[in-house]
């Protein structure tokens, strides 16, 4: 099992680890990983490892089953051996933007309180698909409410409940297409706002900023028709 360092502290940019094994496809499995693996609409992290003074580029990170994180090296990279110690270095700019976009999408699901049928995150934009029979008529109003929530500097925190507790409270799950990360006996909840004034609480395994003000101003992009009663709402960083 890979220890998930990104779960302990999503802001850690570098740390050491030991190589457990190199799999048949050349993927590097560490005993503990700063690198977030692709999942829940959030891309896998990239960056590099340093081993014996050599830099090993990591182009993405994926899951292997429920308990292993696999770092995918660049093609042609000279790989270290099992048991060797490495330094992990995240591409922090990319990761931090993923955190900002991911948290902004949670807020978007508050502003548009409709069932979510899909979502995707990138380093400069994101989108949610909603079960939305009618098109949004006033995009500017939606954008204004989203930016107002961001500007409130709300705290983002986590808590844990059991799989059974989540099954007993299905209303916590907003996403229809992405299942919460269950199976380990407990599920992580992401709360926006404090318990007394929370505006959102939902299961999520991804990485997030600590306060909404870190997101920065957002711009509402295209609203696309993606089938019967399904519409895609795109958001972008306003400064890009």
Q: Which residue has the higher pLDDT, 65 or 11?
A: 11
On average, the pLDDT of the chain sits at 92
For 106-161, the pLDDT digits (tens) are: 999 999 999 999 999 999 999 999 999 888 989 999 999 999 999 999 999 998 88
C-alpha to C-alpha distance for 7 and 194, rounded to whole angstroms:
20
- Measured in Å, how far apart are the chain's first and last C-alpha atoms? 39
- pLDDT in the model for residue 145: 98
> If one looks up domain 95-237 in CATH, what number appears?
3.30.980.10
How is residue 98 written in tokens? Answer: 């993923």
How is residue 171 written in tokens? Answer: 């209303």
C-alpha to C-alpha distance for 177 and 123, rounded to whole angstroms:
22
Yes or no: domain 3-90 corresponds to CATH 2.60.40.10: no
All CATH 3.30.980.10 domain ranges in the chain, comma separated: 95-237
Strands (E), 91-217: 116-121, 125-131, 156-162, 186-192, 200-203
219 forms bridges with which residues in the sheet?
Answer: 236
pTM here? 0.92
All CATH 2.40.30.130 domain ranges in the chain, comma separated: 3-90
């Amino acid at each position: 099992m890979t220890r998930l360092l990104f779960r302990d502290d999503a802001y850690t940019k570098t740390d050491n680890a030991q190589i457990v094994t190199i799999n048949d496809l050349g993927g590097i499995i560490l005993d503990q990983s700063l690198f977030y693996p692709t999942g829940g609409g959030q891309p896998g992290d990239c960056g590099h490892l340093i081993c014996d003074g050599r830099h090993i580029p990591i182009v993405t990170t994926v899951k292997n089953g429920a308990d292993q994180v696999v770092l995918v090296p660049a093609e042609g990279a000279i790989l270290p051996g099992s048991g060797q110690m490495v330094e992990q270095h995240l591409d922090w700019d990319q990761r931090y933007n993923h955190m900002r976009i991911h948290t902004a999408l949670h807020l978007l699901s508050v502003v548009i309180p409709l069932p979510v049928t899909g979502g995707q995150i990138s380093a400069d934009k994101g989108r949610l698909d909603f079960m939305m029979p009618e098109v949004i008529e006033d995009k500017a109003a939606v954008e204004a409410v989203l930016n107002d929530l961001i500007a409130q500097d709300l705290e983002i925190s986590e808590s844990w409940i059991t799989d059974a507790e989540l099954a007993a409270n299905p209303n916590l799950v907003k996403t229809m297409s992405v299942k919460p990360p269950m199976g380990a006996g407990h599920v992580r909840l992401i709360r926006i706002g404090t318990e007394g004034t929370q505006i959102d609480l939902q299961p999520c395994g991804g990485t997030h900023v600590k306060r909404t003000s870190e997101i920065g101003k957002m711009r509402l992009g295209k609203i696309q028709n993606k089938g019967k009663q399904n519409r895609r709402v795109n958001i972008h960083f306003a400064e890009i």
